[in-house]
A and B are shown apart, each in its own frame.
Chain A
């Protein structure tokens, strides 16, 4: 089973891209902010336990929150400074979480120094077999790495070898199918070294024989660059058509490998583990240098920001600081999103801190943002045509609206991946995904 590339999946949409706003902006190091506020939960899984008290001095990379279980990831200070009183914030996903504020101290690394400390130097592609799988997984766990594509699942959990379900393929996801976002794109251009080292290490941990980096064909520079960089390794670069939601794990697996993840199942069920390119770079840093995940690349973009950019930002910095560094909001700014316009979450408070899963901040103007006006469903079936999972979104959404859970189940509500294609295409502006989400949250679990 080798990758053939240039495959596709059925359904999906082609939203206007607008990546050009920030695609050529080289990743810039954000000047160290006066304060970061680090959430104690940044992933799916158990919250962390705080290890610091007010006034404790901390150094960048020091662990300040201990993992609360196996499916959990510790958090670390992202700047040098002094801890403040624990506080509470609301993340874009509406979760209320404890945050530990850190006020920057004088000795904090910044600028080129910080860049070098994080990504500088050589990233080996050879002799990585010396690292025992167990060691790699432990290093990843200690570094607090979670998926950087958005879902933020603790990465070590995915890579642990599983006797009953062996993994044969590691898929590094560089599709970045969200319109506007370019963080992964810039990383693939500027940082092929750590991505490749990280991919090799992750494959080593998971015992995957095949390694594939999947990229959408709208990123030719990144493709060329990685093709050159993987020479001499066993990694293959596979080019996939540009097609939303190509970056969704299940779609990428389908397109790159022709394997279908069962409904309700995981990539693991078809022998695949998927990691994002940013995650791969973080793995390399954790395993080869013993450094925790303290910074990540964030795209700040959209017509609502003065100067769209890609920034290397410390975890915990506020959205406001990032936006201000990019020249602030323009007069037309109407909606600030955590993430991209297809799956991103609109936020109302710019004090929200950047977490490990924040891939971008998109600021839309009112012209760009989807209108809220909702008309009746005209049963045109467009949502059916675009659903990449092959569902009948209108039926499910209406069943959810009227709380007809039996009907929602009969139409396979559980299989929805919440990609938003249906709501994007709906001519009547019906908030289909929102209804699905609501339905999933409310559907009474089968009693027995």
Chain B
């Protein structure tokens, strides 16, 4: 560019060859503590307590199912991404997360092919068809689960959770109905709203039972038995800021409010409320499923709305539907309105909207 410039005097040493300077856009620093891969690893780490709890309740079966689903999801991800010529996308870790969550949302008795088919649908239909990580509208693990629930209705219904008396290998906990099924059955017998005293005295919701719900010594899908494990995982995710607090708070808060109102209506004690919070997949869903960044809204306000919607739908399904547990449908339903929520919650910039220039 310039005329040959004399080397600066006395700078005797120095660069024999010009170093290769990379021209790149600002900012030139990044937050290395938070990469997509690290976030996925965080979710897996946060799942550890849940996995441990599930092993404690369901033994070897839990490990098999979780490992199988994770491997299947990663294998399908590798296969599909190769077919699409996208390179190896499994390194981003999202497939492993999908697999783990799918496995943890299955009942303990689901045969191995249920896990594999669920994985195939989760990755192949729910994710890759939409364009891979970040493009899917619905939570892949929940789509996978919904599919197997319908396809294998026989082995996936409420009865799948309860071991028949003939199964001698069944862990102790699984010989009972799941907390939500038990609750429903119990609630059906007396006429709920008109018999407040009866509701309060149902055996399923005494304090001991709530304690067991909290620690996890109850039946349910693999990952949903222990409230304590979910809370532990939630704390980790919130500290790492991998999950936003708005979604879990919105979801659990709304469910708590509705359960509390029901409580008041039925005149029960706080056990019923806690039963709803600790039992079933509410916490597991609030911490690990609804918080999936890809399928939840972008703004804090949107996330609160999304969480509240999930919580309300869960309660609605629990109380009125034929399904004992509503987290999966609640999340999938709310997923479908995320684009709308995003549009409603476009924030106004600080300083007001940009003036329209002529």
Contact = CB atoms under 8 A, between A and B. Distances in A.
Interface of A: 9-10, 13, 15-16, 33-35, 37, 84, 87-90, 101, 179, 250, 254, 260-265, 318, 320-321, 324-325, 328-329, 331, 333-337, 341-351, 362, 364, 366, 368-372, 375-382, 384-385, 388-392, 394-395, 409-415, 420, 423-429, 431, 433-434, 437, 445-446, 448
Given A254-B350, A376-B135, 16 more contacts: A329-B19, A334-B22, A335-B22, A335-B23, A341-B26, A347-B21, A347-B23, A351-B2, A375-B36, A379-B295, A381-B244, A384-B300, A389-B349, A395-B346, A423-B26, A428-B36
Contact of B24 (A349, A372, A385): A372
The 4 closest A-B pairs by CB, nearest first: A376-B134, A370-B30, A415-B349, A420-B27
Contacts of A409: 354
B338 to A, nearest CB: 9
Interface residues of B, number: 61
Contacts of A333: 19, 21
B31 A263 contact: no
A394 B298 contact: yes
Contacts of B350: 9-10, 254, 260, 263, 388-390
B293 A378 contact: yes
Interface in B101-125: none
A346 B29 CA distance: 12
Interface string B5-24: 11011010111001111111
Contact of B8 (A34, A345, A351): A34
Contact of A101 (B2, B36, B354): B2
A381 B27 contact: no
B88 interface: no
B21 A265 contact: no
A348 B356 contact: no
Contacts of A250: 351
B352 interface: yes
State the majority secondary structure of interface residues on B: loop
A424 B21 contact: no
Contact of B348 (A34, A366, A390, A445): A390
B351 A262 contact: yes
18 contacts: A9-B350, A87-B3, A324-B8, A341-B26, A344-B26, A346-B25, A350-B21, A351-B1, A375-B134, A379-B134, A381-B300, A389-B351, A390-B348, A394-B298, A412-B346, A415-B349, A415-B351, A427-B35
Contact of A375 (B18, B133, B298, B299): B133
Interface string B233-260: 0000000010010000000000000000
